[in-house]
Amino acid sequence: MNLIVALKAEASPLIESLSLSREEGSDSFPLFVGDHCNLIISGVGKSRASAAVLYLRKRFPQPNQAWVNLGFAGHGKLEVGKSFLANRVMDGESGEAFYPPQLIVSKIASSSLLTSLNPLADYPEPIGYDMEASAFCLSARTATTRELIQVVKVVSDNPANPVESFDRSRAAALMKNALPSIHPFLEKLEKLASKVTPPTELLNFIEEAFALKPFTQTQRHQLRKLLNQANALGMPEEDARAILESSGTTREAIHELDLVLEERRLLS
């Protein structure tokens, strides 16, 4: 999972609770990594958020990961400290809207969010207001499927507690208090992401099979397809490996595997 957070104060409680450690040498953005999670501190604003996504995508190019923009937002209605999931993210400048699919059952409230270049002076509608989310959504689309791109915000200010009155020294505490409701959401999102990621064992086996013989690029495509099918049809890996090893040329190996699979190509 990749987390994009604008400010250090927002990120600190997350870094601590997810046991992330600072990666040395990541000079463009402060980057924190853990077993299943990377967190980048993007800085404030749309262009910083976009750049952080692109940086992280380059650094961790695996497809189908979950991407979350997490941080503070103003809100026209929700109380300070309350977290919400953005069900619609509108870009204040381009007018473009994103609709992160809401597949996860969560206790977190759901709200529209408007992202703008400059902080707004008031809260004209009962929605959220931030400065990163739309750019995050736009950039993250190039990295993963839309269901795995989510925006979670914690309300830092509202009409009764305008942004000017926000006490920055309380920022980390505000985020920390919100985490018990945010963590279960992140866990479920991670689970969702695992559903679209092929099992590592199969990927490893396919790589291993490629190394058995000097397959051409086209043959690799054919072999990948056959090995996926072998897996679907319940053929044990050792049987597939034995066929590939015992056959002569690369062409023969593919042909043999196809022949053996033929008997299995029936629904049970």
Give the residues lining the site for another protein (CB under 8 A): 87-88, 97, 99, 101-105, 110, 112, 141, 145-148, 192, 195-196, 198, 228-229, 231-234, 261-262, 265-268
Q: Shortest approach of another protein to residue 52 CB, angstroms?
A: 20
Q: Shortest approach of another protein to residue 221 CB, angstroms?
A: 13
CA angle 48, 51, 55 (to 5 degrees): 135
> Taking the CA of residue 94 as centre, how many other CA atoms within 13 Å lie in the half-sphere pointing to its CB?
10
Q: Shortest approach of another protein to residue 217 CB, angstroms?
A: 19
Contact 141, 53 (CB under 8 A): no
> Taking the CA of residue 3 as centre, how many other CA atoms within 13 Å lie in the half-sphere pointing to its CB?
33
* Cβ closest to another protein, residue 164 vs residue 262: 262
Query: What residue spans of 127-170 are helical by DSSP H?
Result: 133-140
Output the six-digit token pair for 177: 């208090």
Q: Shortest approach of another protein to residue 264 CB, angstroms?
A: 8
Output the six-digit token pair for 135: 């750019």
Contact 11, 2 (CB under 8 A): no
Using CA atoms, how far apart are residues 82 and 72, in angstroms rounded to an integer? 10
Q: Shortest approach of another protein to residue 141 CB, angstroms?
A: 6
Using CA atoms, how far apart are residues 120 and 125, in angstroms rounded to an integer? 12
* Cβ closest to another protein, residue 87 vs residue 247: 87
* Cβ closest to another protein, residue 34 vs residue 99: 99
Q: Shortest approach of another protein to residue 91 CB, angstroms?
A: 13
* Cβ closest to another protein, residue 114 vs residue 174: 114
* Cβ closest to another protein, residue 101 vs residue 159: 101
Using CA atoms, how far apart are residues 82 and 66, in angstroms rounded to an integer? 23
User: What single DSSP character describes residue 81?
Assistant: T
Contact 147, 67 (CB under 8 A): no
* Cβ closest to another protein, residue 14 vs residue 193: 193
* Cβ closest to another protein, residue 226 vs residue 244: 226
Tell me the three state secondary structure of residue 239. Answer: helix
Q: Shortest approach of another protein to residue 257 CB, angstroms?
A: 12
